[in-house]
Structure 1
């Protein structure tokens, strides 16, 4: 097994997270139903600097599961360069979406769902963010707690 790269500073990890949020397109989203049944799905996202915006059919479990308390776990990257996000989510109708958000989503994916009643947007606000590559980055992996960046 190759030796891991030197651990990044927390400041560098935060910048790497922000870069991934700005540039990546896919995330794994995990929610649970009111009775605790888990759901894990990949969804496209747009980052606006404070929230992640995603879309899915209104009847899909991910959208339905946000109703009880809105909690979700979101993961970016692979297991050797992971970003784990705990967030509160809300369902937003396309007609209620701020125009700039809808336009950003449509521009990034060439797909505009506003006005399509079978679809809803999901807006996630992170309250905890962790990032690490290897075991040498486990200490200090917490970058956001209670919605505030720690670095």
Structure 2
């Protein structure tokens, strides 16, 4: 993962802060490119394994169709209400499709970790429930930009 960030270094998250943030947050906004070239943004739950963002998407969705055509994405994850509480991360790169589509639970060692992380965080379960409607996308970001306004001096 490339974590080079020139502007805003003062408010950039450290690698540990970035991992903690991505591990504890639940919802991201995923931007894809539609067939006509326009952007499409949708919200998704995700899991972070320390190097990749795992997205569990409905396969009969505009998002999925967009990604089959053009796998480039930008993802934003943020939190905070007041200015001095704002923090977040933007990840960008190309997604990969992992496992069967749709996911029905066939053995796939590559999905063991993300499915365990996702099931624990989002469902409070030890095993991932499969509904035959979703499948996995992996984003190993090529660009990461982060911010934590809590690091700024008081106004």
Q: Normalization by structure 1: what TM-score?
A: 0.70
1:125 corresponding residue in structure 2: 140
Output the aligned Cα RMSD: 2.6
Q: Distance in 1 between matches of 2:113 and 2:88?
A: 29
1:106 corresponding residue in structure 2: 119
In the alignment, is the contact (CA less than 8 A) between 1:84 and 1:129 conserved in 2? yes
Go from structure 1 to structure 2 and tell me whether the alpha carbon gap of 1:133 and 1:58 turns closer, same or farther (over 3 Å shift).
same
Quick check: 1:23 aligned with 2:24?
yes
Q: Secondary structure at the match of 2:10?
A: coil
TM superposition shift of 1:133: 4.4
In the alignment, is the contact (CA less than 8 A) between 1:28 and 1:40 conserved in 2? yes
Alignment of structure 1 residues 36-51 onto 2, 5 Å: 36-51=37-52
Quick check: 1:58 aligned with 2:59?
yes
* Match among 81, 90, 98 for residue 84 of structure 1: 90
In the alignment, is the contact (CA less than 8 A) between 1:27 and 1:42 conserved in 2? yes
Q: Distance in 1 between matches of 2:147 and 2:117?
A: 29
Go from structure 1 to structure 2 and tell me whether the alpha carbon gap of 1:36 and 1:82 turns closer, same or farther (over 3 Å shift).
same
In the alignment, is the contact (CA less than 8 A) between 1:86 and 1:129 conserved in 2? yes
In the alignment, is the contact (CA less than 8 A) between 2:11 and 2:148 conserved in 1? no
Q: Distance in 2 between matches of 1:28 and 1:84?
A: 10
In the alignment, is the contact (CA less than 8 A) between 1:85 and 1:130 conserved in 2? yes
Q: Distance in 1 between matches of 2:147 and 2:114?
A: 29
TM superposition shift of 1:105: 1.6
Q: Distance in 1 between matches of 2:113 and 2:22?
A: 17
Q: Distance in 2 between matches of 1:90 and 1:102?
A: 16
1:8 corresponding residue in structure 2: 10
TM superposition shift of 1:83: 1.3
Relative contact order: is structure 1 or structure 2 higher (C-alpha 8 Å, sep ≥ 6)? Answer: 2
